[in-house]
Structure formats: C-alpha cells, structure tokens
Chains A and B, each alone.
Chain A
Amino acid sequence: MSTTPPLPAVAGIGLRSPHVARVRRDKPAIGWLEVHSENYFADGGAALAALEAIRTDYPLSLHGVGLSLGSADRLDTGHLSRLKRLAQRLEPAIVSEHLCWGRIDGRHLNDLLPLPFTREALALCCDRIDAAQAALRRPLLIENISAYLRFDADAMTEWEFVAAVARRTGCKLLFDVNNVYVNAVNHEFDPLAYLAAIPGDAVAEIHLAGFDASGPCLVDTHGARVAPPVWALYRATIDRFGPKPTLIEWDTDLPALDVLLDEAAVAQAILEEADAVAA
C-alpha cells in the first residue's frame, strides 16, 4: 500500500505541459496538482523529470484516461503495468480512472465512451476494477463521465450504476460535478437525485470543468470556466459530502495559468465556507 498522505480537502488544478515551466519556477500557491497518467508513460525524458521535480513541492494525483475498464476486450495488462510503474515512481496521493470504455476488438478509440447501464456491464466493470486495484495494490478512484447518448438496454440509472460499482468493489469515487450537470441536461434528470444516490464516504475527489453549449447537446470540452449552474451544484455537493479535494480541469484552449488559479480560488472559497459552517 502507498504510504503517501491523502490529498487535503482543498482546491487543486490539472497541470498541463504549457504550464509546467511556470509552476516549477514560481511555485504558485495551490493545494495539489493532477496530471494525466498516460502523458507520463514515457520511459524517460524531460517531461517525466520535470514532474518528478514538481512532485517534491505539491501533492500529486494521477488521472488515467486510457485503461478502458469497461471494455469487453480483456484488461490491457501492459497499460496497467505502465500505470503501476509510474505510480511507484511518483508515489501519488491518488490514482484515478473513468467508468467508461475505449477499446474494442483490439482497436482503441482513445476516448471516454459511454457504457450501457446493464447488469453485464456492471459485473464486467466491477471485475476489472477489482483486478486493477489488486495489481496496483491501492484503491482506485473511479470517475463518472459525460455522455451524449443513452441505450434502450439500460437496466438502471447512471447513479445506481455508479453507486453499485463503489459498493461492490470498495473503490473510491471521483465525483465530476460538471459531468453530472452535463448528463442531467442532456438526459433530462434531476442532478440532485444523482447526488442523493452517491455514498458520500466513497467520494474522495471532485472535478469541476467547463462545457460547450453551442450544439444540440452539452459537450464536456474542459474548454471554459465552470458554468454558474455547475457552481451551484458544487455547493450542493459540498453541503452533502463535506469538503473534498476539488480539481479545476482545463484541456481544450488552455488559458493562462492564472485563469486556472482564479477558478481554483472560487472552489477554495466554497470549501472554506463549508469548513466554517461545520466549525
């Protein structure tokens, strides 16, 4: 088991390569950093060395996008062993992945694709999460994704599916508030019903990001500031679960680091209000 201390219940940001040099130089005041695991699957080189240096100044979370835990193909043990090697090297506070699939018939689509909420998919995801947690020798955080379609075959709601995964595997949850909001709009449900179904003690991290509303569906682009209704849902989330480590994610049209730090400060203020109420 990892002996790295858990992430503090404060705001962090997703670290992307254009910001690495400035973070190394200026060491901005931010509670923790998260990176995409696969971006550091390198065998060596400057990017990995830079992250190792940054790692000494900030708590770190490894966020995976490619393990494809929900794929009907067998679990990619090569991918899992590269993740394990990286986790051993960086000793992150958290290792997370998504409740989704990406690979089928040997082809990886390198995207976070939606699962049908069937008993078969639930059983398969739980088996794969069990296997991944056993291989990594640590609990995984599993994140709910945004989806732009639903299947007729669904036998349960998304929140029932997510809660069942946590209950059966003992995994922790990375609760993405933006994804809940996007899905609530796209599939017309009450996000508070989702929130009510999630076991709060399983939630170990929260994600916030911006979406794109220019098309017929909300699309989770991670390319904008957090939208006002998502902030409102975040407040409701913190009211229900208590303060949790909260990440600002930004991937598309990455702005200056200061914009991410501004967004993180908004989340930090909400976390501190909750702390004040509790005290």
Chain B
Amino acid sequence: MIRILVQAALAVTLLACASAGAHDLSAGDANYVEQLRGSAPGTFAYLGAKHMFTGYDHLLFLTGVLFFLYRGRDILLYVTLFTLGHSVTLMAGVALNWQVNAHLIDAIIGLSIVYKAFENMGGFRRLLGRNPDTRIAVLVFGLCHGLGLATRIQAYAPRGEGLATNLISFNLGVELGQIAALGIILMMLLAWRRQPAFNGQAFAANTVLMCAGFTLTGYQLAGFVFA
C-alpha cells in the first residue's frame, strides 16, 4: 500500500510539473492566431489537435474511459458520445457567445476524472449497488469539455469572416488529436492488460488517476480564486 502511494505521488508530481500552462494556447501560438484575419483552416485544425494531444486533463479522462473497455464497438460508442457532447457545446458556445470561466470548467473536467476513476474502482457499484449509466456520464462530460474549448477558442478566433470555417477546422483538429491520443493510450492499455498483474494493479492505477483528478480540480479552483 505504501509503495503504491509513493508511486502515485511521484506520478502525479511529474504530471503537475509538466502541467504549468500546457493546457492553454502557448504564447507564441496565441500571438500568431491574434494576427489572423478570415479563415485559416490549417492553423485552427492544428491548434485543435495540439490542444487535445497536449491537454493532459483530456488524456487522463480518456484513459479513465478506456480503462475497462475491451470491445471495439464500445470504444467507438463512448468516443462518439464524447465527441458529440463537446462538438455541441463548442459550436453552440461560440455561436451564442457564451463566456464561462475557464477555471471553473477545468475544475469540472478534473472532477470528471475523479468520477471515472471512482467508477473504475468499483465505487458506484459498492455505493449505489449499480453503475450509473456511463453513456450519459460520458456525454455530459463531453458537453463540459466542449464548453471549456468554446471559452478558449473565443479568446483567439476573430469573429465574423471565416469564423465557421475556423470553428469546424478546430473541431476536426480536436477529433484528429483525440484519435492520435486514443491510439497511444489504447496500445499501452492493451499491453498492460495482457500482464497477469493487471487486475491487481488496476485499483491502484485508478487511485492514482483519482488523485490526479483531485489535484487538477484544486489547481483550477485556486486559479479561479487567485487569478
């Protein structure tokens, strides 16, 4: 138990160290995007993919969702639900000019990681006697993730001319980035699951995931208070 905790602490510290600012558009990207006028599909698709691929909160949530998914059909279903969720709020959020505090959204995304880890640990089955419908949870968290994306992209996307093209490109990029990340996570999970020790380590791994989720939540709430 102690060894697991030490490993967990190390893993999350590494994550936290890598975290500073990794989520937002980097300063160079932001400068460039602010200068853009009109449609720039390539730029926005790339930024969408980069956001997903370097956004450790998205990656952690994906890891939680994929952890116990074995069948290709299930993986496709959950990824589609998540995509549907964040596409809806990304498009609607920008179209209706919603401004949600990015720190609060990211705190909810942190909690979504805690939620998925708790479910993977068998917590809900123990607590409620059954698992809440994961499909609904994944859809709802997809909606939240999309709100975060919408708030960010509005800070940079020039309004008016080219907005629709830029948004669709960004969303497409998010999908591409997600598929790329998904492939790598799935490959590692497949290799891990074949190990006889997997079942014993799964509980500890999800405890680590949960700790990361709590850490992200606290970090973002602090950002809401201090920043």
Query: Do A and B make up one complex?
Result: no
B residues near A (Cβ < 8 Å) are: none
